Homo-oligomer: A and B are copies of this chain.
Amino acid sequence: MARTPAPGTRDTILTAAAGLFYEFGVRAVGMAQVVEAAGCGKNLLYKHFPSKAELAAAYLNLTRHERERAVTEALRWSADPVDRLLALVTEIADSVRRPGYRGCAFRNYLTEFPGETDEPARVAQAYLADSRAQMDRLVLGAGGDALLTDRIWLVVNGLYSGTPAQASVAVDWITEMVRPTEAP
């Protein structure tokens, strides 16, 4: 009775690994833990991901795609440049508010592996650069200048490493910055 090769094995393993890596950190989680959480054999894990670094890179790529999907979805409903910027900021704030939030996965990885130049590190750095570039494009599109891009990135950086309680403060503040003040 040959087992039917499960269609989503790679995804199953990756999803399990991603959850563990994000919650406990990449260094702290062993391949054995991933195997146990995925409910598969060790051979399968190494068949799909020949090394832990490749699994970590896949984890960061998965996270990137999830973030991009969520951001694209959030931006889909707004055409106005200011609305689009605020939609992005709101989406980030929502992600910070989600239970189990433990900071930005990419920044966390780079903190765990400082000075590293392997593939996961490159994925993380690329995401952060692209993420900043996207934010800057939206700020400039909404009529902001270079100073405002710096300031908003500062606040968003603080938001990423902050608590859910600060999410609303950040959103409200950035709204104030880019919307004409309403008289009371």
Chain A interface helix/strand/loop/mixed? helix
Residues in A1-56 with C-beta less than 8 Å from chain B? 23-25, 27-28
**Does A79 sit at the interface, judged by CB under 8 A?**
no
CA distance A155 to B153 in the complex (A): 9
A1 CB to nearest chain B CB (Å): 28
Given the interface pairs A25-B112, A108-B111, A114-B23, the reply to whether A154 lies near B153 with Cβ below 8 Å is: no
Residues of B within 8 A of A147 (CB): 169
Contact B27–A112 (Cβ < 8 Å): yes
Interface residues on A, range: 20 to 34
A64 to chain B, nearest CB (A): 19
- Is A164 in contact with chain B by the CB < 8 A criterion? no
B115 touching A112, Cβ below 8 Å? no
Q: Give the shortest distance, in Å, between A46 (CB) and chain B (any CB).
A: 23
- Beyond the given pairs A151-B169, A154-B166, 11 more chain A to chain B contacts, judged by CB atoms under 8 angstroms and listed by A's residue number, are A24-B114, A25-B111, A25-B112, A27-B112, A28-B114, A102-B114, A154-B155, A154-B159, A154-B162, A156-B158, A157-B158
What is the CB-to-nearest-CB distance from A100 to chain B, in angstroms, rounded to a whole number? 11
The answer to whether the Cβ of A59 comes within 8 Å of any Cβ in the partner chain is no
In the complex, residue of chain B having the shortest beta-carbon distance to the beta carbon of A116: B28
- Is the pair B24, A161 in contact by a Cβ cutoff of 8 Å? no
CB–CB A158/B153 < 8 A: yes
- Give A112 to B102 CA distance when docked, in angstroms: 11
Closest to A160 in B: B161
